[in-house]
Amino acid sequence: MSRLRDIIHYFFHHNFTKATVKRVHERIVRKEDRSDFNSALEQCWQDSSSKSIAAQTDVALLQLQKKLGWTSPEQATKKQWGYWIRIAALWIIPLVSVGSSIYFFREMEEARSVAMIQYFVPKGECQRVILPDKSQVYLNGGSLLVYPEQFNSEQREVFLAGEGHFSVSSDRKSPFVVKTKAVNIQVYGTVFNIAAYPNDAFTTTMLEEGSVSVEINSTSTNYMLIPDDILSYNNVTGEVTRSRVDSRRTSHWRDGFLSFESERFETVILKIERSYGVNIRVMNPSYSANLITVNFNRNETIERVMQVIKSVIPRLEYIIEGKNIYIK
């Protein structure tokens, strides 16, 4: 008698660490007792569906209609607005704090005739947005994306403050441009990641597939990137560095991982703040010389993450007080 039924049933109704999820998935794909799996899953099918999932149905239907290419415009916009207005309530405060948003509104005045959609992702979350041209953007926590309801024919323009992973649908006639405070990225149907948080020291563009050109706003210099290139612009000194990475590894934040490969202490701290929605005060500047390489998955508690950081940096001490963390 196999225990697969009990395993599936228990697994289905609880959440687990990545490691356990992996063990169960490995167990499922064994071919020994498929019929047990089938009947256990059928039971789950009977029990599945919850209110919280039902709440996602309308948005999912819109996405599907877009994918199938049959959005009837009147119907869709009406519904979309209801959704956006609900979300709008969430942005008001973050919007004020994102100082650079003023910059966007100036830009937007020029194109007043087009309705703009602003999508804000709170800290500690990661969300996916489908743009009017079916391009897909994963936004990391604390990011703001502004884009028009309809792209105009010459150029597809979006504005980003924060981090986004873009999969852009190819359209030779209408280039796709991501504008940020420090750089503009011109895209030709491709997959790339850009981190342009207003408070970060660096704006980094990383290319996974295709090609992009990055224009530094202050100097109007252009850089063409090839896959696995990472271009860092120092927002303070204006210095530009280009290096090579394994881009698949570094964009893991979309799947809930936090991966750091020889990253600066400050960067690591900022990313932890964003992923966990906490405030970290670093009271001692001497840690900034450290380069950190470590991987977490998002099921890790913040307590555990801080323990690991502590074990990586000798002599580091910290206190957690609710949402505030002090590093001495």
Partner 1 sequence: MPLLGKRITEEILVQQLVQGSRDAFCALFKIYHPKVMGLCIGVLKSQIEAEDMTQDIFIKLWDERAKLIHVNHLSAYIFRMSKNRLLNHLESKQVRINHLQSYKITEIEKETPHDLLVASDLQLLVDMVVEQMPDQRRVVYKMSREQGLSNSEIAEKIGVTKKTVENHINSALKALRSVIKTIITLFFC
Residues in contact with partner 1 by CB under 8 A are: 1-4, 6-7, 10-17, 20-21, 23-30, 32, 38, 41-42, 44-45, 48-50, 53-54, 56-57, 60-61, 63-65, 67-68, 70, 126, 128, 138, 254-256
Our CB check for partner 1 shows the closer of 237 and 301 to be: 301
Our CB check for partner 1 shows the closer of 65 and 186 to be: 65
Q: Please answer whether residues 184 and 173 qualify as being in contact, where contact means their C-beta atoms are separated by less than 8 angstroms.
A: no
Q: Please answer whether residues 140 and 109 qualify as being in contact, where contact means their C-beta atoms are separated by less than 8 angstroms.
A: no
Our CB check for partner 1 shows the closer of 1 and 289 to be: 1
Q: Please answer whether residues 189 and 174 qualify as being in contact, where contact means their C-beta atoms are separated by less than 8 angstroms.
A: no
Question: Minimum Å distance from CB 326 to partner 1?
Answer: 23
Question: Minimum Å distance from CB 325 to partner 1?
Answer: 19
Question: Minimum Å distance from CB 323 to partner 1?
Answer: 19
Our CB check for partner 1 shows the closer of 21 and 114 to be: 21
> In 122-256, where do the E strands start and end?
127-130, 136-139, 143-148, 156-167, 176-179, 183-187, 191-196, 202-209, 212-216, 221-225, 229-234, 240-244
Question: Minimum Å distance from CB 106 to partner 1?
Answer: 34
Q: Which residues contact 196 (CB under 8 A, 6 or more apart)?
A: 160, 161, 162, 163, 180, 181, 182, 183, 203, 204
Question: Minimum Å distance from CB 26 to partner 1?
Answer: 7
Our CB check for partner 1 shows the closer of 67 and 323 to be: 67
Q: Please answer whether residues 324 and 281 qualify as being in contact, where contact means their C-beta atoms are separated by less than 8 angstroms.
A: yes
